Each structure stands twice: as structure tokens, then as C-alpha cells.
A and B are shown apart, each in its own frame.
Chain A
């Protein structure tokens, strides 16, 4: 099976702009989670989607939003970018090997806000 795909891999934006990141999970996986990784805060949970429904949301401002499509692909959007939004954004595809929940991470999208 192909792994988790995230596009684009790198992005440079300026303050005030908005950005959309995309994640394609492993074929057959219906759940996707998003995480933000920064040197200061480490890995923090953004949100989780299952069958186009948001199941859980982390403690981030409303500028961060997401959605999931019927083919399980997910997008996250950040509006009115701030310098502090510079981070590695990771998507996890959630599977059930042997009946156990397991997260499979993509390579990430590196966002730089200038």
C-alpha cells in the first residue's frame, strides 16, 4: 500500500495570507488526524476526521480549520497567517492492523510564514 501523502511539502507565505494543506491517507483508511510541530511546543493535536465528520479538535484558534472529503482525503486551512504558525504540519492516517488503532504519519508540510 502507498503511504500517506501530503502536499505541498514546502510552503512560504507572508503574514495575513491564508494557506491550504492537503493529506491523502492510506487506501482504505477513513480517519485522519492533523498535528502541528514546532520547536517550542512540540507536537500538538489539531483535529481528527472520520467519514467527513470532525471527531475531535485541539486547542487552536478558529483560524485553523479542516475538512474531509468522501474519498477520505483531508485538507486543513489556516487563515490570517501569523509568524507563530510557522511549523511542520503532520497528517496521520489511522488504521486498524490486527484490530488495534495505529497512526501512520506522512512526511509533513513545512510552512514558513514571513
Chain B
């Protein structure tokens, strides 16, 4: 059974700092990995989607990498801003589960002004 872990559970950084969020998964047989952002009490906003054949994806100040063989992904946020404060979730899609996503528990990020 696929399990997804995100460490740390919470992170607080000063504005302007570059930071890395971690995601690990137990079964390397994945179709893709997706990073989401969730603001308090709201739905999920997709940030980046990495296919299993890709190593990384970039969007603006965000860069996500994928190392399928080691079961790890990182989300790099450059020059963090208070508006980046949110919970960041990673999720994997695995073969044999239709389009079901298995989520990590998230990292709650606070960027201090």
C-alpha cells in the first residue's frame, strides 16, 4: 500500500528566504506526483504536476523535483513571501487505482513579514 510522508509538518521562515519542502513515498511505481496548495478552509490549488518520466517542473518561483527511484520529491520556493503562507500537500497517482490520489499530510508554511 502506497504511503506518502511530508516532513516537516510545520515550517516558519522569514520573508525572502528560499525554502524546500519534502515529500516521500514508499512505492516508486507511480504515474505522477502533484503538489497542491491549500489555504485555510479552502480547496486545493494545483501548483505543479510531474510525470514519472520527468525530473522536475518549474512555475515562477516554484520548482519541484522528482527522484522516483528513491521515492522522493522536493518543492523549492524561492524568495518566499507572506502570501506563500499555506499548507502544501503532495499527492501521487499509482497504477491500478484509476485516478485516485494518495496524499501526504501536508506541510504548514508560515512566511513572516
Contact = CB atoms under 8 A, between A and B. Distances in A.
Interface of A: 4, 6, 31, 33, 35, 42-43, 45, 48, 50, 55-56, 58, 88, 90, 92, 94, 100-108, 110
Contact of B43 (A31, A55, A101, A106): A106
B41 A110 contact: yes
Nearest to A104: B46
Contacts of A92: 44, 101
A48 B44 contact: no
Given A45-B100, A45-B102, A105 B31 contact: no
A110 B104 CA distance: 21
15 contacts: A33-B101, A35-B103, A43-B101, A43-B103, A45-B100, A50-B98, A56-B99, A88-B41, A94-B99, A101-B31, A102-B34, A103-B46, A103-B101, A105-B44, A105-B46
A56 B98 contact: yes
Given A55-B98, A100-B32, A108 B103 contact: no
Contacts of A88: 41
The 7 A-B residue pairs with the shortest CB-CB distance in the complex, in nearest-first order = A56-B98, A105-B44, A43-B103, A107-B43, A55-B98, A105-B43, A42-B105
